[in-house]
């Protein structure tokens, strides 16, 4: 099928760029002596996860049990869930996963530890990574003493094994915390086997910032407008675009495309790095200024040349991960030639 005949809106992934991105990150980790454990939250496609492992990744990272179940069903047997698991129902599902894969879970509280312990007693021992916060203000304990308390508890709890530490994103503060924390853990016989860090935008500086032993990155496989703005990638490194069609030109400075909030994420760009909800390679000054459910309102006022009704446009999303999660399938291309459709098998798995 000719790519130009695919009905829009349609997400399209160029496999040659994907391969280049995967090799670049794996090569960096190999040179730095860091194990790569890619986060599948970006692509959610088992075949791409298998390719990451073929190239040298230690295993994969998932954010939710549902993602891990899809990946385990596809034969992947080394999985970290980088999210606290809480509740009896989730304990039973985690136990089932532990029977068929090497499982690790990050956590920052004793309730989550009790859940993982229950799962481990049923399904087999599960590794625990204690998450600490380095300024992100999300999950993660906020003091060295809390890390020590949870690490001791994991050591002394049935069904779990203290495997180490986790942090997101890796930054200068991560290194400061670890320099204080590691000697105290080692003094208690709790030297971490794994120090897991994450974050695509500064991934290639990980070895400079903190002594992590494992890197969790997701967006790098596709890249997006945010990773370009952060200096991690160029536009040529963006493998994922959404193809849309101009369906209306109600005013000279306005184009309407056939994709709105059901296709694109509403994630804004960081302050000072760009406006709108996506980047148009063919019209760099165009701005996807507003969206309703099915309509994208594109501001063309800064454009010298302007697209016409019926013209197909490519859009690089601000943040590709939530956009990927909005679609059941995407089109694969290689060298710009349509190869077929791929199911986004783990999309929508929010539990």
Q: What is the pLDDT of residue 1?
A: 80
CB 44 within 8 A of CB 346: yes
Is there a domain that residue 249 lies in?
yes
Is there a single domain that holds both residue 67 and residue 106?
Answer: yes
Is there a domain that residue 293 lies in?
yes
How many domains are contained in the chain?
A: 2
Range of the domain at 334: 3-10+227-343
Is there a single domain that holds both residue 218 and residue 231?
Answer: no
Is there a single domain that holds both residue 203 and residue 243?
Answer: no
Where does the pLDDT of residue 203 fall: very low under 50, low under 70, confident under 90, or very high at 90 and above?
Answer: very high
Q: What is the pLDDT of residue 328?
A: 98
Is there a domain that residue 351 lies in?
no
Is there a single domain that holds both residue 246 and residue 117?
Answer: no
Of 187, 222, 257, the position where a domain reaches its end is: 222
CATH code for the domain in which residue 215 is found: 3.20.20.10
**Residue 245 reports pLDDT greater than 90:** yes
Is there a domain that residue 184 lies in?
yes
Average model confidence (pLDDT) across the chain: 98
Is there a domain that residue 258 lies in?
yes
Chain segment 179-188, per-residue pLDDT in tens: 999 999 999 9
Chain segment 87-99, per-residue pLDDT in tens: 999 999 999 999 9
Chain segment 264-320, per-residue pLDDT in tens: 999 999 999 999 999 999 999 999 999 999 999 999 999 999 999 999 999 999 999
**Residue 125 reports pLDDT greater than 90:** yes
pTM of the model: 0.97
In 54-101, where do the E strands start and end? Answer: 60-62, 78-81
Is there a single domain that holds both residue 106 and residue 25?
Answer: yes
Is there a single domain that holds both residue 54 and residue 199?
Answer: yes
Is there a single domain that holds both residue 145 and residue 167?
Answer: yes
Is there a single domain that holds both residue 20 and residue 130?
Answer: yes
Where does the pLDDT of residue 159 fall: very low under 50, low under 70, confident under 90, or very high at 90 and above?
Answer: very high
Is there a domain that residue 348 lies in?
no
CATH code for the domain in which residue 297 is found: 2.40.37.20
Return d(Cα 113, Cα 35) in angstroms, integer. 25
The arithmetic mean of pLDDT across residues 43-48, rounded, is 98
Of 190, 222, 254, the position where a domain reaches its end is: 222
Is there a single domain that holds both residue 169 and residue 188?
Answer: yes
Is there a single domain that holds both residue 141 and residue 91?
Answer: yes
The arithmetic mean of pLDDT across residues 41-63, rounded, is 98
**Residue 122 reports pLDDT greater than 90:** yes
Is there a single domain that holds both residue 217 and residue 231?
Answer: no
Is there a single domain that holds both residue 123 and residue 164?
Answer: yes
Q: What is the pLDDT of residue 74?
A: 98
Is there a domain that residue 350 lies in?
no
Is there a domain that residue 193 lies in?
yes
Of 189, 222, 255, the position where a domain reaches its end is: 222
Query: What residue has token string 């000054």?
Result: 285
């Amino acid at each position: 099928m000719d790519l130009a005949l695919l009905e829009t809106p349609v997400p399209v992934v160029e496999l040659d760029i994907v391969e280049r991105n995967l090799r670049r990150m794996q090569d960096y980790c190999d040179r730095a002596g860091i194990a790569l454990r890619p986060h599948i939250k970006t692509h959610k496609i088992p075949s791409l996860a298998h390719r990451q492992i073929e190239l040298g990744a230690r295993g994969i990272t998932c954010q939710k049990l549902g993602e891990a179940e899809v990946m385990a069903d596809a034969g992947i047997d080394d999985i970290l869930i980088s999210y606290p698991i809480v509740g009896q129902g989730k304990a039973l599902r985690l136990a089932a996963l532990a029977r068929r894969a090497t499982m690790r879970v990050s956590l920052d509280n004793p309730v989550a530890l009790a859940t993982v312990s229950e799962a481990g007693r049923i399904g087999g021992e599960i590794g625990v990574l204690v998450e600490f916060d380095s300024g992100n203000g999300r999950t993660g304990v906020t003091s060295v003493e809390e890390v020590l308390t949870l690490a001791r508890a994991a050591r002394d709890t049935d069904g779990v094994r203290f495997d180490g530490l986790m942090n997101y994103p890796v930054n200068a503060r991560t290194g400061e915390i670890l320099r204080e924390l590691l000697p105290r853990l080692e003094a208690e016989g709790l030297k971490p086997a794994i120090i897991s860090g994450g974050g695509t935008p500064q991934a290639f500086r990980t070895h400079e910032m903190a002594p992590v032993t494992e890197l969790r990155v997701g967006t790098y496989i596709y890249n997006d407008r945010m990773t370009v703005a952060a200096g991690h990638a160029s536009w040529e490194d963006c493998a994922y675009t959404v193809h849309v069609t101009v369906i209306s030109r109600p005013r000279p400075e306005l184009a309407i495309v056939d994709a709105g909030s059901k296709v694109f994420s509403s994630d804004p760009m960081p302050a000072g790095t760009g406006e709108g909800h996506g980047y148009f390679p063919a019209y760099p000054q165009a701005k996807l200024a507003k969206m309703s459910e099915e309509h994208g309102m594109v501001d063309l006022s800064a454009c010298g040349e302007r697209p016409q009704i019926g013209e197909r446009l490519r859009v690089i999303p601000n943040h590709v991960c939530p956009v990927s999660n909005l679609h059941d399938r995407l089109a694969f291309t290689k060298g710009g030639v349509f190869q077929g459709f791929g199911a986004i098998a783990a999309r929508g798995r929010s539990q």
